[in-house]
Structure 1
Amino acid sequence: MEMPGALRGVAFFSFVQVSCLAYGQSSITLYGIIDTGVEYYNHAAGGGSFVGVPTLTGEVPSEWGLTGSEDLGGGNKAFFKLENGFAPGTGGFDYGGRLFGRAANVGLETAYGSLTLGRQLNMTAYSLLNADVIGPSIHSLYVFDNYLPNARSDNAIGYMGKFAGLTIGATYSFGRDAAGPAGPSATNCPGQVPGDFLACKQYTALIAYDSSSFGAAVSYDQMRGNEGASAPLTSSDYTDTRSVVDGYFKLTSLKVGGGWIHRSLSAGVASTLYNLYFLGLSYVPIASLVIDAQVAKYIQLRVTSSTGLVARASYFLSKNTSVYSSVGYMINGRNGSTSVAAGGTVEPGAEQVGVMLGVRHAF
Structure 2
Amino acid sequence: MKPMVKAGETVFALVLAAGWAPGWAHAQSQVTVYGIVDAAVARMSNANAAGDSVTRVASLTGSLPSRIGFRGSEDLGNGLAAVFVLESGYNPDTGTLGQGGRLFGRQAWVGLRGKWGTLQVGRILNMTYYGSTKSDVLGPNLFSISSIDLYLPNARSDNAIGYLGNFDGVVVGATWSLGRDVLAAGGPSATGCGGEVPGNAKACRQYTALLGYESKAFGITTTFDKLHGNTGAANGLTSSRNYERRVTLNGYAMLGAVKIGAGILSRKSDLETAVVESDLYYLGSNVPITPLLGLDTQVARRNVKDSSDDTSMVVARLTYLLSTRSAIYAAIGRMDNHGAAAVALDAGGTVTAGKAQNGVMAGLRHTF
TM-score range, shorter chain: over 0.9
Aligned pairs for 1:1-363 within 5 A = 14=18, 16=20, 20-22=24-26, 24-47=27-50, 48-303=52-307, 304-363=309-368
Cα pair distance change 1:340/1:231, threshold 3 Å: closer
Separation in 1, partners of 2:184, 2:272: 22
Q: Deviating runs (4+, > 6 A) in structure 1?
A: 9-13
Identity of aligned residues (%): 43
The whole-number CA distance in structure 2 between the counterparts of 1:199 and 1:334 is: 34
**Are 2:203 and 2:229, in contact at CA under 8 Å, matched by a contact in 1?**
yes
Q: Deviations over 1:136-194 (max 9, x none)?
A: 11000111111111000000000111100001000000000011135410011111111
SS of the residue aligned with 1:153?
strand
How far 1:252 sits from its partner (Å)? 2.7
Partners of 1:326 and 1:102 in 2: CA distance: 25
Alpha carbons of structure 1 residues 18 and 58: separation in structure 2 relative to 1, 3 Å: same
Q: Secondary structure at the match of 2:153?
A: helix
8 Å CA contact 1:85–1:95 kept in 2: the answer is yes
Deviation at 1:198, TM superposition (A): 1.0
Which residue identity is paired with 1:231? Answer: N
- Over 3 Å counting, the alpha-carbon distance change for 1:71 and 1:44 in structure 2 is same
CA contact (8 A) 2:297 2:315 kept: yes
TM-score, normalised via structure 1 length: 0.95
- Structure 1, 33-42 or 334-343: larger mean CA deviation: 334-343
* 1:230 Cα offset (Å): 1.6
Which has the larger displacement, 339-348 or 66-75?
339-348
TM-score normalized by the length of structure 2: 0.93
Rounded Cα–Cα distance in structure 1 between residues aligned with 2:268 and 2:29 = 44
Mark the runs of 5 or more structure 2 residues left unpaired by the alignment. Answer: 1-9
Describe the SS at the equivalent of 2:129.
Answer: helix
RMSD (CA atoms): 2.0
Q: Deviations over 1:284-310 (max 9, x none)?
A: 122111110000011002322111000
Structure 1 residues without counterparts, runs of 5 or longer: 1-5
Distance 1:108 1:30, change over 3 A: same
Contact 2:101/2:186 (<8 A) preserved: no
Kept after mapping to 2: 8 A contact 1:253/1:285: no
Q: Is the 8 A contact 1:174 1:201 kept in 2?
A: yes
Deviates more, 1:69-78 or 1:326-335: 326-335
Letter paired with 2:45:
N
Q: Contact 1:183–1:230 (CA<8 Å) still a contact in 2?
A: no
